[in-house]
Structures are given as structure tokens and as C-alpha cells.
Amino acid sequence: MDFQLTPEQLSLQQRTRDFIAREVMPLENDPRHSHHGPSEALRQDLVARARAAGLLTPHASRELGGLGLSHVDKAIVFEEAGYSPLGPVALNIHAPDEGNIHLMEVVATEAQKERWLKPLVQGHIRSCFCMTEPPPGAGSDPGMLNTTARRDGDHYIIDGLKTYITGATGAGFAIIMARMEDGTATMFLSDMDRPGIRVERQLDALDSCFTGGHGVVRFEGLRVPASDVLGEIGQGLRYAQVRLAPARLTHCMRWLGQARRAHDVASAYARQRKAFGQALASHEGVSFQLADNEMDLHVARLTIWHCAWLLDQGSKGRHESSVAKVICSEAEWRVVDRSVQILGGSGVTSETIVARIFSDMRAFRIYDGPSEVHRWSIGNRIARGPATV
């Protein structure tokens, strides 16, 4: 691997960094932001700014209007966007839309792309991904899927309950995972305003960075035309891996930017704040924490770039993304946690943005597979023995 950035990558990195500082960070305390995330009006404002800067949906293909970024390119841009909690929203690279765009580019029909994917890439609408269910349904174990889909002529009838659905409130359409009568899983596309879909409630969560927050969605007799099946019948779990492997890594990229922001805030404070006759940064108790932050950021970035490089070389990335998800989610969390400690009182209040980053990031060790499930998967791979070279 060559870790030296090309002139083109350096230019794109600087463009993104300048855009975030100039257009996005000044809106971080905008009143259009609530506990359930940026309002649609704020999102549209941010998207318009990214569109004008030529940075909207950069991960999408050039044919769809994006920049056609490689995975390594995404690592550079997504980290810079993540420096502000609003950055991924502005660039239209936030979850779940970023992963849904990737999945639909690979799997959707041309008609489905025209109807749903193009408006999503253009930032005109949002989407949600409906897979997780309340007990005893699917969570970390997708094999426990309880939402059902049965054939009825030229339609499928979907019934079930989903929970922790990010962005459900206000989404234009959903990707729905349901169990077929033969027990296999299939993905379906549906507009969110169809009869038979209801967002029952929004959940109060620690984070406030996702437009639409997180919701509970019920399907009761939802009729989906057979033409709105996403991909092939019975291949839902395979498509979930097409989506999740890169999506786990892009989470790592975005949160690396926020961890770096927290570290920068804490570092500046430690250099300026004095105690016992000297700057906090001169005390080993603080300087060692800052040093540990630097090392965790470095390890996370190298892990991301290595995994991104493997994906660019054609690796499916399932195992590598599990490794990266655990390393990065835990390293980046440690950085933010130490930053809160260094900042003291200002770290647990709205005096700095670090408390907000702290609240937003805690869930990262849970969604897209908690660390424990990834460790279990990695351990099982080890137990099976080395792969044949």
C-alpha cells in the first residue's frame, strides 16, 4: 500500500475541509436542529450548499451525478465531512442513505433507479432501511426475521414490526427486509406514504445527528408490486452483506472525523487552561491522554485505509469490515471519552461540541453489529483455521 495521497486526493481533501469549516460548522447551533436530528429544512439548506460546492453525494457514480469515489477516496472525504456532526448530512453521505445508495447502485433495476435512487442521490428525498425488529425478531441475528411477505397475484403483502429504524420519519421510501413463505429473506422497495406503513413513534435516543431520528415502523397489509422487489427473491441476506460491509467502514470514516474534532478541542483547551502554575497539557496526567488520543486516531485511520484499499482491490470485505468496525468504534470512542475528561466541566455541557459528539458516538459500538458479535464472528473464523492461500 502507498499511503501517500495523490495531488487529486489532497485537493479533494482540502476542498472538503474548507467547505465544512466555511459552510457547515457555523450551522451547528442552528435552531432547526432538534433532539431527533436536523429538520428537513436544515437538511435541505445543507444539501444546497454542498450541491453548489460540487460535493453532494460524492460516493455515487459519475453517471448518477456523484464523484465516483474509490473506497480510499471516501476514507479521505468522509473523515473531513465527519469533522462536523452536520457534515455527513450536508454531503448526503449519512446513514442510512449512504449505504442504501451503494446497495441500489449494485442491485436495483433501471426503473427502480429512476424512481428512487436518482432523487436520493440528488438529495431531494431520504430513505430508511427496515431490518431490525423488536424481540423475538431479527437484531444481531438476521435469521430471526419475523416480518413476513406472501404472494398475492402481482403483489406481495407485507406484515410486521420494525424498530430502531434510522430516518424513518420523513423518509421518501424504505428498503424492507421480509421473510418469505419458504423461510428465505427478500428486500422490497416501498414509498413511505403507501397505505399499510405507519411510523408508530420516534424513539428518544442518545444521538441527535440523524435526520428523522430513529423510529418504530409497522407494516399491516402493505401491498408491494412484484416489480418493486429489490434484486432477486430469497437473496435478502446476501444483499444485506453487499450493503453492510462497506457501510460499516464508512461509519468508521465519518466517526474518525468527529473523534479528531473532539481531540482538537481538548488539545486546544489543554494548552490554554492552567492549573497548579502550568498549562494542563504540561501535566503528565493530561499529556499522556492526548498522546493516547493521537495513537488511537492513527491506528483507526490506518485500519480504515487498509480495509478501503482491500475493497478497492476487489475484496468482499466482510471479515475485514468486522475487524475495522471493532478497532475503530472502540478507538474513536476512547478518544472522545478522554477528550471529555480533559475538558472537565465544559466537556459535559454545551460549552463545547464534545458533549454532543460523546452522545452521538456511543451508539457506534452497537449499530451495524455490536463489538461482541463481530468478535464472535472473527473468533469463529479463527477456529475454522487459516484460509487456503
Query: If you write DSSP's letter for every residue of 238-286 in order, what string do you get?
Result: HHHHHHHHHHHHHHHHHHHHHHHHHHHHHHHHHHH-EETTEEGGGSHHH
Query: DSSP character for 232?
Result: S
pLDDT of residue 318: 76
Non-local CB neighbours of 11 within 8 Å, separated by 6+ positions: none
Q: At what angle do helices 236-272 and 284-312 cross, to 10 degrees?
A: 150
Torsion-angle region of 153 (φ positive above 0: left; ψ -120 to 50: alpha; else: beta): left
* pLDDT at residue 303, rounded to an integer: 96
pLDDT in tens, 293-348: 999 999 999 999 999 999 999 887 778 889 999 999 999 999 999 999 999 999 99
pLDDT tens digits for 168-224?
Answer: 999 999 999 999 999 999 999 999 999 999 999 999 999 999 999 999 999 999 999
Closest CA to 327 of 244, 249, 241, 242: 249
Give the pLDDT confidence of 21-60 residue by residue, as tens digits: 999 999 999 999 999 999 999 999 999 999 999 999 999 9
Residue pLDDT, tens place only, 222-272 = 999 999 999 999 999 999 988 888 889 999 999 999 999 999 999 999 999
Cα–Cα distance between 268 and 266 in angstroms, integer? 6
In degrees and rounded to multiples of 5, residue 219 shows phi and psi of -115, 120
Confidence of residue 387 (pLDDT cuts 50, 70, 90): low
On the CB side of 192, CA atoms within 13 Å amount to 22
Domains in the chain: ranges and CATH: 7-94 (1.10.540.10), 127-232 (2.40.110.10), 237-382 (1.20.140.10)
Q: Measure the CA angle with vertex 26, ends 75 and 64; round to 5°.
A: 45
Distance CA 201, CA 163 (A): 10
Residues 59 and 93: beta-carbon distance below 8 Å: yes
Write out pLDDT tens, residues 117-146: 999 999 999 999 999 999 999 998 888 999
- CA distances (Å), origin 239, targets 193, 235, 285: 25, 6, 48
Pairing of strands 148-152, 155-166: antiparallel
Length of the chain: 389
pLDDT at 389: 38
Q: Does pLDDT of 74 surpass 90?
A: yes
From the list 168, 255, 206, the residue with the least C-alpha distance to 35 is 206
Phi, psi (rounded to 5 degrees) for 44:
-65, -35
pLDDT at position 388 over 70: no
Whether 75 and 8 have beta carbons less than 8 Å apart is answered as no
Give the whole-angstrom CA distance, residue 41 versus residue 56: 17
**First-residue to last-residue Cα distance in the chain:** 20
1: pLDDT strictly greater than 90? no
Provide the mean pLDDT of the chain. Answer: 95
Count CB-CB contacts under 10 A for residue 98. Answer: 25
Contact between 269 and 343 under an 8 Å Cβ cutoff? The reply is: yes
Q: Which helix (H) or strand (E) holds 73?
A: helix 71-81
Q: Are 87 and 80 in contact (CB under 8 A)?
A: yes
Q: What whole-number distance in Å separates Cα of residue 46 and Cα of residue 25?
A: 11
Residues 6+ apart with CB under 8 A from 126: 43, 97, 120, 167, 170, 171, 172, 211, 212
Q: Quick one: 5 exposed, middle or buried, by C-beta within 10 A (0-12, 13-18, 19+)?
A: middle
